[in-house]
Amino acid sequence: MSIKNNTTSLQELLEAVNNLPNAGSGGVDLPELTNEGSANDLMLGKELIDANGNVVSGSFTIDNELTAQDSLIAQIATALEGKAAGGEQATPVISINSSGLITATAGDKSATKQLTTQAAKTVTPNTSSQTAVASGVYTTGAITVAAVPTQTKSATPTTTSQDVTPDSGKFLSKVTVGAIPSNYIVPSGTLNITTNGTHDVKNYESATVEIAGSGGGSGEGMANTLMQLLENPVFSNDDLTEISVDLFRGWQYITKLQLPNVTKIASGYLCYSCTKLEEVYMPMCTTLGSYAFYNNTSLKNIDFPCLTIAPSSSFRQCSVATSVNLPVCTRLEAQSLYQCTKIEKMDFPMVEWLGNQVFGNCSVLTTLIFRANKVCTMSNGTNIFKDTPIASGTGYIYVPSALVDSYKTATNWSTYAAQIRAIEDYPEICG
């Protein structure tokens, strides 16, 4: 057998050794063994045990067939030394480049793996959470958090709460609240005024004026002037039962009127042009004078549960009122509800008589209900619904079903016959 140096692998050398005879010319005789083995096993360092339990040792020679240059032993030793030194098990070298490519090299072998990557990114802060780097990815550039855009704001103290918020896309870094003035006052309590003169009301939340003859006429009385100094002034009196003068005429600053026991207003123009009057509480009043609440452009609701007659122009030009409640009223005189431009529905349980232009310029009045058990008398049919949806054909009049035909043929009502309907047929509207 001939083995060439430097061209034979360790595996081939071991196979060559395994093919060597255990005995023969130039061979090796081994004793009886308790474990399997051969001469080449012994040569390769395997511990062999004889029948007596002794470790087999000794030396043997290679057949002369092998030359010194091709010495099998020499080649095995050289191969083993190379293996021990790492010639066949080189330590891997691992690297990763800027693109996320992993390269592993061991000797003349190498392998690569491309990672999932994410490029450079700038995160701009906002009011929601954001992901800067996704899970399981390799960044190939810097992740930068942008600077927060800030601003400062200031606020001046007022009597109501304020919200100080940043402009769109910005954050507040500072809010400056101005100092409260040294003369700042929180008004409280009620001042009762019973005499004419000058009264300091700045420390009071409200003032009660009980001075005979303090108002009326042009409204330039002391009480009206006093109202100007108050915030949301209220006039309240539980003792009055009847008023015979235009007591509040032209009071431009009063916002609420409370007269719970007044039953009769004998004079006209009671609250004429009280343009800031928002609420009126007169639950016992049965009689009003003409123009009582004319031009009350801030009055929210018309609510007089005991009023029997609505005099001419009594609620004319109550232009922000959204409802009317006159449950026992039997007569609506001329222009009594003229130009109530925000009321969409009016419901009258007992009205039996209508004056001229009573609903004129009620520009959103689409539903008008008459529940009395007789046909309501219309004094003038030419302009009673002037400039209303009823006149234009888009509003409707609802009456008891038993009176529908009578209404459609009655004087002045026949003009609106197509707009007349039975209450009972429209419960979703009439209740």
By 3-state DSSP, what share of the chain in percent is helix, strand and coil, each rounded to 5?
15, 20, 65
pLDDT tens, per residue, the chain with 431 residues? 334 444 455 556 556 555 554 433 334 566 777 777 766 666 666 777 777 877 776 554 444 444 433 445 555 555 555 554 444 557 788 888 888 888 888 878 888 888 899 888 888 887 788 888 888 888 888 888 888 788 898 888 777 788 888 888 788 888 888 877 766 677 788 877 777 667 777 777 777 766 554 444 443 455 566 566 566 788 899 999 999 989 899 888 889 999 999 999 999 999 999 999 999 999 999 999 999 999 999 999 999 999 999 999 999 999 999 999 999 999 999 999 999 999 999 999 999 999 999 999 999 999 999 999 999 999 887 789 999 999 999 999 999 999 999 999 999 999 999 999 999 999 999 99
What does the radius of gyration of the chain's CA atoms come to, in whole angstroms? 55
Output the pLDDT for position 39.
64
Whether 282 contacts 262, CB under 8 Å: yes
Q: What does DSSP assign to residue 257?
A: E
Q: How far apart are the first and last CA of the chain?
A: 121
Q: How far apart are CA 9 and CA 6, in angstroms?
A: 8
pLDDT of residue 230: 63
CA distance 61 to 84: 25
Q: How much of the chain exceeds pLDDT 70, in percent?
A: 76
Quote the pTM value: 0.52
Q: Which residue has the tokens 């009439």?
A: 430
Q: Which two tokens stand for residue 356?
A: 């001229």
The label of the residue with tokens 């032209």 reads 250
Over the stretch 336-356, which tens digit does the pLDDT of each residue have?
Answer: 999 999 999 999 999 999 999
pLDDT one-digit tens code per residue, 387-416:
999 999 999 999 999 999 999 999 999 999
Give the CB-side neighbour count of residue 286, counting CA atoms within 13 A.
Answer: 2
Instruction: Note the pLDDT of residue 134.
Output: 87
Burial class (CB in 10 A: 0-12, 13-18, 19+), 178: exposed
What is the helix (H) or strand (E) element at residue 201, kind and residue range? none
Report DSSP state, residue 49.
Answer: B
Strand, coil or helix: 164: coil
User: Which pLDDT does position 124 carry in this prediction?
Assistant: 84
Pairing label, strands 377-378, 353-354: parallel
Check residue 138 and give its pLDDT. 85
Alpha carbon distance 400, 419 (integer Å): 14
**Residue 344, Cβ density class (10 Å: 0-12 exposed, 13-18 middle, ≥19 buried):** middle
